[in-house]
Amino acid sequence: MTDDIRNLELVRDDELTQTLRAIYAPPSDTAYWSFLERRILDRLASEDGDAWWAVPAAWLRVGLVAAGIAVIVAGTLLLRTQTQMARAEYETVVDPTTIDAPTLAARERLTEQQTNVRILTGH
């Protein structure tokens, strides 16, 4: 036997098809469907206080803990991002490498005339 799949032919097997259809065919008896419906409705009606669509109490605690952790992580990431943005904005306005420290420390007091000139000219 070879692994060559280029020369494969499709063969129709009617006997196998009929057998499989008979196996997987739905029951034709209406009593089967009525009984199935009654079983399903009885099962839904006999739930122990919890509806079939409700979340089980054991899952509720786990879900609340997971939601709390998600909120804490999201809040932490938001604060971290805001801090980084504020720091980046500050550094774009004030670049510490361009400020000369002795110049800042040794500034003389302006005279009244110099103050008036700065107010009038804006410099």
Q: Comparing 60 with 5, which gets the higher pLDDT?
A: 60
Domain assignment present for 75: yes
Half-sphere exposure of residue 112, counting CA atoms within 13 Å on the CB side?
Answer: 0
Predicted pLDDT of residue 106: 58
Q: How many domains does the chain have?
A: 1
**Which range of residues forms the domain containing residue 81?**
65-94
pLDDT at 120 over 90: no
Predicted pLDDT of residue 2: 62
Domain assignment present for 116: no
Domain assignment present for 84: yes
Predicted pLDDT of residue 95: 65
Prediction pTM value: 0.36
> Which range has the top average pLDDT, 59-63, 75-79, 98-102?
75-79
Domain assignment present for 89: yes
- In order of 1, 21, 58, 66, 108, the CA distances from 13 in angstroms are 22, 13, 52, 54, 105
Mean residue pLDDT across the chain: 81
